[in-house]
Structure 1
Amino acid sequence: MKAISYRRYGGPEVLEYGEVPEPKVGPDEVLVRVRAAAVNPVDWKCREGYLDPILNTVFPVVTGWDVSGVVVRPGASVVEYAEGDEVMGYVREDLLSLGTFAEYIAAPVRTLAHKPAALSFEEAAGLPLAGLTAYQVLVQILKVGRGDTVLIHAAAGGVGSLGVQIAAHLGARVIGTASERNHAFVRSLGGEPVDYGEGLAERVRGIAPEGVDAVFDTVGGETLKVSAQLLAPGGRLASIADPDVTEYGGRYWFVRPDPEDLAKLSQLADQGAVSVHVDKTFPLERTADAQRLSQEGRTRGKIVVTVSGADG
């Protein structure tokens, strides 16, 4: 099968498009014919070796964790899925080896959910990792509810744009940092946009003078420091970008595969509460270009790679 892999850490130039063995299908896995795979910042961070201290790596590595596609063959003990089912998944192993930027992936059932009928394969591929990140932080860590005021950073990005929609669905007032060119987009998601950068604290206090009840940090560093200062008494703080959040009394989070959470996101998409904005698509052989664009950090919504093969 065709796939995108790398044999050593490095820049986009180490990515190779070519033949790799088709994956074996374990008893609790399903073989998925990949239709689309979304690009996430963690992809290039893995490729450059930033996660080497915490994840074992077996080269060559097929890159990618997000996927949408069609079940070709369920494993021997799988009852959740049948041939022909449309699925999406956050297919993260406990090591770096077999990823989703390929014609086929053997996905454990614990990483999958049925694809929302309301979303295309390209849109559905962009939902698992970013959606699970936003859902788990907002629901499980920050416990956002009706009447809360929530500050979400990088609100036009993959995680942020889904976070704005989820928080709004939970009944919160949502303030989202974004560049001016993305303000209308953030408003369309249900958020109140503010410019990030110098003067952020004053801008947020201008519209939430008593502070915010919760902050979802996706940036870290100085942004995290400023965020801690914007919390109202008893406010909650979580970060997916900076483990130093604990110094401010907050919680660090690394997204986990969870089929129940993923099924809930699928339901929200079918209800129209959550949508996925696909900023740009690339064919599989141009995955290096897709990761370059992701690494620039200016994407609105998601970048998605589409996969074609013998059956289209």
Structure 2
Amino acid sequence: MQNDQPGMNERPEMRALVLEEFGTEPVLRSVERPTPGPGEVLVRIEASGVNPLDLKIKAGAAGHARVTPPAVLGIDLAGVVTEVGPGVTRFDVGDEVYGMAGGVGGLPGTLAEYSAVDADLLAVKPARLTMAEAAALPLALITAWEGLVDRARVGEHDSVLVHGGAGGVGHVAVQLARAHGAKVFATGSAGDLETIRALGAEPIDYRAVPRQDYVDKYTAGEGFDVVFDTIGGATLDSSFAAVRTYTGRVVSILGWGEHSLAPLSFRGASYSGVFTLLPLLTGRSRAHHGRVLAEAAELIDAGKITPILDPTPYHLGTVEEAHRAVAEGTRRGKVVVQVGGSAEPPVSRG
């Protein structure tokens, strides 16, 4: 039971989903509610988006995320500021915010009722979105922005190819590129093509259409100005041969393998990698995340970016089911866990 009237040196409790060891299911526990420190705000979390990275962390297969159990899972959030720490001037109590706020590098995750968050990582929630919709966006939105806007400098008249255009990052990238005036093409499986078309991109069935055929058809053999890869592996290799000579830019969010740069070099084109977790892991450039989310909120409220959500309801007591839906690929959009208002009781105490 949550302690609503703490003593002088006692904080109230909250519920949080705690990963006690890798390879196990996290446990719903009662833990002490955090206090915001300098530069932080306390956020009452209303919703938390589920990312494939959460599953890798849970399995112990994400060393780059630097998580040591016991740890609270969850990376994205949307919620309401309830306390403001020393030195914070950008937010007030009652502000609705969203952000990629923790869950890696020793930062507490967002599958909890409250989190003390570095204010630099947050922005005011787009008014047009529900809490669940806002919680679905931060990691995907920042990743797409860093690739397309920061690295590729996408703009009007650019032709952009998004690999995996119906995926969590891909469907945001398609909309972001279009919002910047680009003509967008996107690959996907046969079942993804209608979603891609509805997002405003020209769909390409990657299983049915060879790379050279769609490069010839849509660019007269010249290659795309920007290729944004969300798949990695052989798809990234293929991207090097699908980009425009001299001025083309390839950006990948999964460029972690060994790849030959020869095809790219022979075209005189450029490559950039995106590692969205870096500010959370290092503490550097966190304010850039907040600025990206604030700028993106203007596009969202203008109706240019809308997340696709899986309609299945999940809460803190059914996170295992949410993770299973992501792992098995049965979801129909981004999976979001409703945190605020959940009546599920904690199963144990920390």
Alpha-carbon deviations, 1:182-212, whole Å to 9, x = none? 2222112111111123644044223333211
Q: Among 291, 297, 313, which residue is 1:266 paired with?
A: 297
- In 1, the alpha carbon distance for the partners of 2:342 and 2:204 equals 47
Are 2:51 and 1:30 aligned?
Answer: no
Distance 1:77 1:93, change over 3 A: farther
Alpha-carbon deviations, 1:85-117, whole Å to 9, x = none? 100011137613510011111111011000000
Equivalent positions of 1:1-312 (< 5 A) are 1-10=14-23, 13-52=24-63, 54-92=64-102, 95-197=105-207, 199-205=209-215, 206-209=217-220, 210-234=222-246, 235-244=248-257, 247-248=260-261, 249-255=270-276, 256=279, 257=286, 258-280=289-311, 281-297=313-329, 299-309=331-341
How far 1:60 moved relative to its partner?
1.1
How far 1:50 moved relative to its partner?
2.4
- In 1, the alpha carbon distance for the partners of 2:87 and 2:324 equals 40
- In 2, the alpha carbon distance for the partners of 1:35 and 1:63 equals 15
How far 1:24 moved relative to its partner?
2.5
Larger CA deviation: 142-151 vs 190-199:
190-199
Alpha-carbon deviations, 1:217-275, whole Å to 9, x = none? 11111111111111120211111112348743522111155111110111111111111
Distance 1:85 1:223, change over 3 A: same
Distance 1:245 1:211, change over 3 A: farther
How far 1:23 moved relative to its partner?
1.8
- In 2, the alpha carbon distance for the partners of 1:162 and 1:301 equals 11
Which structure has the larger Rg over C-alpha atoms?
Answer: 2
- In 2, the alpha carbon distance for the partners of 1:141 and 1:46 equals 27
Percent identity, aligned pairs only?
A: 38
How far 1:300 moved relative to its partner?
4.4
Distance 1:8 1:270, change over 3 A: same
- In 1, the alpha carbon distance for the partners of 2:198 and 2:259 equals 33
Alpha-carbon deviations, 1:39-85, whole Å to 9, x = none? 01111112222222x34434211101100001111112211111111
What TM-score, normalized to structure 1?
A: 0.92
Distance 1:247 1:202, change over 3 A: closer
- In 2, the alpha carbon distance for the partners of 1:297 and 1:154 equals 14
Equivalent position amino acid for 1:276 in 2? P
User: Which runs of 5 or more structure 2 residues have no equivalent in the other structure?
Assistant: 1-13, 262-269, 280-285, 345-350
Alpha-carbon deviations, 1:146-171, whole Å to 9, x = none? 11111101111111111000101111
CA contact (8 A) 1:39 1:303 kept: yes
Alpha-carbon deviations, 1:280-307, whole Å to 9, x = none? 3311211111112212346443110001
What TM-score, normalized to structure 2?
A: 0.83
CA contact (8 A) 2:79 2:96 kept: yes
Q: CA RMSD in A?
A: 2.1
Query: Matched residue of 1:96: which SS?
Result: coil
Distance 1:310 1:78, change over 3 A: farther
- In 2, the alpha carbon distance for the partners of 1:96 and 1:259 equals 20
Larger CA deviation: 180-189 vs 265-274:
180-189
- In 1, the alpha carbon distance for the partners of 2:176 and 2:140 equals 11
- In 2, the alpha carbon distance for the partners of 1:9 and 1:223 equals 30
